Structure 1
Amino acid sequence: MTPKTIPADKRQWLSRQDVADMLGVHVNTIDRLRAQRKLRSFKVGDQVRFKPEWIDDYIESHSQ
């Protein structure tokens, strides 16, 4: 998968698919990272959301 950018107007809260697209991984990888508490998220009911800053922090902390 090729990493994608998310338009600024949609960056307030990101979905699992948005984050997967940004990181260039499958949604299952996002679920695994959440389960391992490596990726911060917010859940209301069955909706999982991520703040863009949390994803930026994850990317920064895992950059080589």
Structure 2
Amino acid sequence: MTIRRKWHTVAEVAEMLGYGLSKTKMLVATGQIRSIKDGHHRRILPEWVDQYISARVSEAA
């Protein structure tokens, strides 16, 4: 049985995107990547990562 995560940490998203942690934190802080606060941590839904990527692709087109 495989358990799939429902959301990601900022560090996980940084790794997925191939960005540094500082850059990813800045994208979260500026709202370019949506997130929610869960206790002391930020969490990012997979579809929010997809939305960020789609926006970047649209900007490049």
Quickly name the TM-score band, shorter chain normalised: 0.7 to 0.9
TM-score normalised per structure 2: 0.81
* Distance in 1 of aligned mates of 2:23 and 2:3: 24
Identity across the alignment (%): 33
**Structure 1 unmatched runs, 5+:** 1-6
**Structure with more of its chain in helix, by fraction:** 2
Over the aligned positions, Cα root-mean-square deviation in angstroms equals 1.8
* Distance in 2 of aligned mates of 1:47 and 1:35: 13
TM-score normalised per structure 1: 0.77
Runs of 4+ in 1 over 3 A off after TM superposition: none
Aligned counterpart, 1:41: 35
**Structure 2 unmatched runs, 5+:** none
Number of equivalent positions: 57
- After superposition, the C-alpha distances for 1:8-55 in whole angstroms (9 at most, x for unaligned) are 712x11011110011100111111111211110011221110000000
SS where residue 4 of structure 2 aligns? helix
